[in-house]
Amino acid sequence: MHIMNKNVILAGLAIAVLAGSAWWFTQNSFTHPLPLSEGDIVSSWDFQGTYKDGGTLEKKANDEIVRLEGFLGGDQSGTDDDPTDYIIYVSIANQYELLGDGQRAYESLGRAVAIDSIYTGLAWHNLGNLMARFGAYKTARIAYAKAVEAQSSVEQYHIARLQFLSAHFAEDDSAIEAAFGEAEDQFGKEASFLLQLREQP
């Protein structure tokens, strides 16, 4: 009996080790769904985060990252106090941005997109903002377009893409007009935000 119990314990430990190894492999073999576009270079992923104070705010952000990571792998219902992994990764990315850690923010948003790249635009939108911050404009352009594609009914995603194109691809009239056309198809030509954007120089 004692030998049987020992074998059961050893088998349980072996399963735990295998499960841990599989988790480690999936975490460390991650391929980002939005690689840098050809010609885009990020010379440094670090920036001055508003919580990077070497003290209370920095600790708060790091503690929040640990807390959020504890929710990963929940039932994915998104109900009550059990957020989906998608939302958790977006939230973790927000904390890394507060810390000025662009590399980890980029990775966390990529993990969110890997969960849902088709139906939810939030991580795509945030990736657009992040890549624009680093001057990776071709990459940002793809991300903003993907956000609109995923959730064309979200006004903010159209606004962000149009403002971005106007600021960084102003010479690409056809792309800007196409983006306006998509927004007009969704909200109508007389939508106030579209009229305001058209009036901007």
What pLDDT, in 10s, does the model give residues 114-167? 999 999 999 999 999 999 999 999 999 999 999 999 999 999 999 999 999 999
Q: What is d(CA 44, CA 144) in angstroms, rounded to the nearest whole number?
A: 22
**Structural domain contains residue 102:** no
Q: Are 33 and 114 in contact (CB under 8 A)?
A: yes
Q: Are 150 and 117 in contact (CB under 8 A)?
A: yes
**Structural domain contains residue 191:** yes
**Structural domain contains residue 91:** no
The whole-number pLDDT of residue 6 equals 54
**Structural domain contains residue 114:** no
| Region 104-108 average pLDDT | 98
Domain count, the chain: 1
Strands (E), the chain: none
Higher pLDDT, 30 or 98: 98
Q: Which residues contact 103 (CB under 8 A, 6 or more apart)?
A: 45, 46
Cα angle, residue 32 at apex, residues 30 and 36 outer, rounded to 5°: 145
The whole-number pLDDT of residue 5 equals 54
192: containing domain: 137-201
**Structural domain contains residue 110:** no
**Structural domain contains residue 121:** no
Give 121-161 as a DSSP string: -HHHHHHHHHHHHTT-HHHHHHHHHHHHHH-TT-HHHHHHH
The whole-number pLDDT of residue 25 equals 40
**Structural domain contains residue 41:** no
Q: What is d(CA 38, CA 141) in angstroms, rounded to the nearest whole number?
A: 13
Q: Given the structure tokens 């992923």, which residue do they identify? A: 45
pLDDT in tens, 9-45: 544 444 443 444 333 444 456 899 999 999 999 999 9
Which pTM does this prediction carry?
0.84
**Structural domain contains residue 170:** yes
